Amino acid sequence: MTRTLTALADRMVEGLVPKATAHAAANCYSVSCYCSGPYLYKKTCCDFQPCGPCKNVGLGC
């Protein structure tokens, strides 16, 4: 009886909770965009994803 109730409860939870999926860690790297005066702008790119926007990273030009 306990096994039947446990199996039924497991099936109910499976319907409500999405299954976990494993993803490989993304390989991310920084790419220089441009200089504006003394300020350097860079964007972050990761494998299999579009690059992010260019952001000010401080003095560097």
Domain annotation covers residue 10: no
Q: Is the pLDDT of residue 19 over 80?
A: no
Domain annotation covers residue 1: no
Domain annotation covers residue 12: no
Query: How, if at all, do strands 39-46 and 28-36 pair?
Result: antiparallel
20-34 residue pLDDT tens: 555 566 799 999 999
- Residue 11 has what pLDDT? 66
Domain annotation covers residue 9: no
Domain annotation covers residue 43: yes
* Domains identified in the chain, total number: 1
CA distance 18 to 14: 7
Domain annotation covers residue 6: no
Q: Is the pLDDT of residue 50 over 70?
A: yes
CA distance 17 to 7: 15
Range of the domain at 35: 26-61
Instruction: State the average pLDDT over residues 4-14.
Output: 60
DSSP reduced 3-state for 24 = coil
Domain annotation covers residue 44: yes
pTM (2 decimals)? 0.55
- Residue 26 has what pLDDT? 79
Instruction: State the average pLDDT over residues 46-55.
Output: 94
CA distance 7 to 20: 19
Domain annotation covers residue 8: no
